Structure 1
């Protein structure tokens, strides 16, 4: 009896390692950024150079922090545990959306020097989405 491989994508070891590095980098960046927003008040964030926090509602700042931490955890945990690893791609989508919104905010405030970092983080999240779908998908635990 022959079995048919339902996953015709050949996983490349190099792609897998590279994607893990990108996932870890995104997780570290967003974990720190989210924790900073959750643990700091508006005045502290402004003092750290986040001028946008001055006029933002505190609940919005905390929500953004929570979303960044959730995205950071989603970059790692579903793939490591292989429990619903497709959630890693969804976490990357969420982080990409956050970066689009952040870039829009910074552009409207004239803070153009921050936008390149938003673009880079958006691109890295996009790489995880594409890579985990096409180059090195992670199979769910059997």
Structure 2
């Protein structure tokens, strides 16, 4: 079970890192032009960057606390916060009719719930 949690946390951290880098360092206009980036057209640049920073923090919070054995309770807390972020993403993409992205976000939500549940049960 421990190996499955590490693999899942690593995959989800990679997703969060990629999303965080993209939202933090790519201009909002360029994101809006990409497939699935329509939501950025109605969001401020600060909001998009804030989401990017949250995703970068999630990438760190899913791995480092357990790896360094410093406040490992932060891993399930981060995973629970990620589930809330994914609910928001699912609602946003659903309103835009982007149902493939809703499904992708729901997979990320399930992975985060697995991480949170696995760490809290241990």
Say yes or no: TM over 0.5.
Answer: yes
Displacement of 1:48 after TM fit? 2.3
Is 1:24 paired with 2:10? yes
TM-score normalized by the length of structure 2: 0.96
Please list, as runs of the form range in 1=range in 2, the aligned pairs for 1:1-142 lying within 5 A after superposition. 15-49=1-35, 50-134=37-121, 137=122
Q: Which has the larger radius of gyration?
A: 1
Runs of 4+ in structure 1 off by over 6 angstroms are none
- Please report how far the alpha carbon of residue 41 of structure 1 lies from its aligned counterpart in structure 2 after TM superposition: 1.2
Q: When the two structures are aligned, how many residues end up with a matched partner?
A: 121
CA drift at 1:122: 0.2
Equivalent position SS for 1:37: helix
Distance between the aligned counterparts of 2:53 and 2:84, measured in 1?
A: 14
Partner of 1:3: none
TM-score, scaled relative to structure 1: 0.83
RMSD (Å), alpha carbons: 0.8
Question: Unpaired segments of 5 or more residues in structure 2?
Answer: none
Give distance in 2, aligned partners of 1:113 and 1:84.
36
Bigger proportion of residues as helix: 2
